């Protein structure tokens, strides 16, 4: 596996590299299985990229039986262990490899359940239009979950032709996205897209994330060089593009980078993010470290750097309110998740005891 200099010697087929196969996945090699990457999922059927092209895949009975949660099933971007069926263009999926990164949100509805949006991504392009779709508070949510995913966030501001003051909008974004690359584009005219193309690297995976109508599919078409995804014209009255992407799909660009296009998100409920609050809100984290008391509640305590910054106008009150709202939301999800896990464990032991009693009565 390693040469004398200590560098990793990949032994798998070279053709997998173009699909993003990296040493992280090579080290998870299982004897008797081949590797493939999930490009598309549809009702528990999967399109799999293999070293010799595209195959149709489905889970083995054992894998399906052992899958208890959504994260146990393959998602777009996952590397999986497969066996090919002789005489067919089909494979059986025997398991999901450990994920390098994962962008998740809470699934819609009242139940606490994870919805995986994309996995094994190197970069996240947070796409937001410079028309009425522009929402700095929503961008804070995206940044928080992007940091939590383990991938590097970058921001793409689209539809610059529909904005009267692009510089002001970009400056507003930079006040909440510290050190994050920001691109401004008009994908329909290919304006600004070259600055993105020159950063793309063969074999790396990028997820396009944003609200419905933000221009993700148009951006993908521009990066691809032709109409790869269908797009809709902006609606009258609200400047929002018609949402056209209905599924997640992994696409290989002509230059060798991989893009996961995703449907627009009308709502983005947090799933995780407490570990990344300090990265997403670096300004607030830095101020809190300057408070006189280590356990400062940032209310009426003397020497509170947060309150001093708010009074002086150095900290925007809406950003502080957003920070508090996200903290409360994360705390609520954590409490609900812990309660749900406790109930599930209790039900599991009830079933075990019932089976033991039934076995003893035979």
Which amino acids are annotated as binding site for Zn(2+), given as ranges?
291, 296, 298, 304
* Whole-angstrom distance, CA of residue 277 vs CA of residue 180: 15
- 278 within 8 A of 285, measured Cβ to Cβ: yes
Which parts are annotated binding residues?
A: 158-161, 210-218, 291, 296, 298, 304
* Whole-angstrom distance, CA of residue 119 vs CA of residue 20: 12
- 215 within 8 A of 233, measured Cβ to Cβ: no
Backbone angles phi, psi at 80, to 5 degrees: -130, 155
3-state DSSP of 66-92? HCCCHHHCCCCCCEEEEEECCCCCEEE
Q: What is the β-pairing status of strands 152-158 and 182-184?
A: parallel
* Whole-angstrom distance, CA of residue 231 vs CA of residue 217: 6
Which parts are annotated binding residues for GTP?
A: 158-161, 210-218
Assigned token pair, 337 = 């998740």
- 131 within 8 A of 103, measured Cβ to Cβ: no
């Amino acid at each position: 596996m390693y040469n004398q200099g200590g560098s990793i010697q990949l032994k798998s087929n070279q053709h997998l590299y173009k699909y993003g196969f990296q040493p992280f996945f090579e080290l998870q090699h299982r004897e008797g299985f081949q590797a493939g990457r999930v490009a598309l999922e549809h009702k528990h059927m999967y399109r799999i990229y293999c070293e010799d092209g595209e195959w149709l895949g489905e889970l083995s009975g054992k894998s399906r039986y052992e899958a208890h949660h959504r994260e146990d099933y393959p998602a777009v971007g996952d590397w999986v262990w497969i066996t090919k069926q002789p005489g067919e263009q089909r494979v059986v999926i025997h398991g999901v490899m450990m994920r390098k990164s994962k962008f998740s949100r809470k699934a819609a509805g009242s139940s606490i359940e994870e919805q995986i949006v994309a996995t094994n991504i190197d970069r996240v392009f947070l796409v937001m239009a410079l028309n009425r779709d522009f929402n700095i508070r929503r961008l804070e949510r995206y940044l928080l979950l992007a940091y939590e995913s383990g991938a590097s966030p970058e921001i793409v501001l689209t539809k610059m032709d529909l904005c009267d003051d692009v510089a002001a909008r970009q400056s507003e974004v930079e006040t909440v996205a510290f050190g994050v690359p920001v691109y401004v584009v008009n994908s329909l005219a290919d304006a600004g897209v070259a600055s993105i193309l020159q950063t793309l690297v063969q074999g790396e995976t990028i997820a396009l994330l944003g609200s419905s109508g933000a221009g993700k599919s148009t951006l993908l078409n521009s990066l691809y060089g032709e109409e790869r995804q269908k797009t809709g014209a902006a609606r009258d009255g609200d400047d929002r593009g018609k949402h056209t992407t209905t599924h997640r799909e992994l696409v290989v660009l002509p230059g060798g980078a991989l893009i996961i296009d995703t449907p627009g998100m009308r709502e983005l409920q947090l799933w995780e993010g407490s570990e990344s609050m300090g990265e997403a809100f670096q300004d607030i984290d830095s101020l809190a470290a300057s408070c006189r008391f280590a356990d400062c509640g940032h209310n009426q305590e003397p020497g509170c750097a947060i309150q001093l910054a708010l009074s002086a106008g150095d900290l925007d009150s809406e950003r502080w309110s957003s920070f508090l709202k996200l903290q409360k939301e994360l705390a609520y999800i954590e409490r609900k998740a812990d309660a749900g896990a406790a109930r599930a464990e209790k039900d599991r032991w009830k079933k075990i005891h019932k089976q033991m009693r039934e076995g003893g009565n035979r």
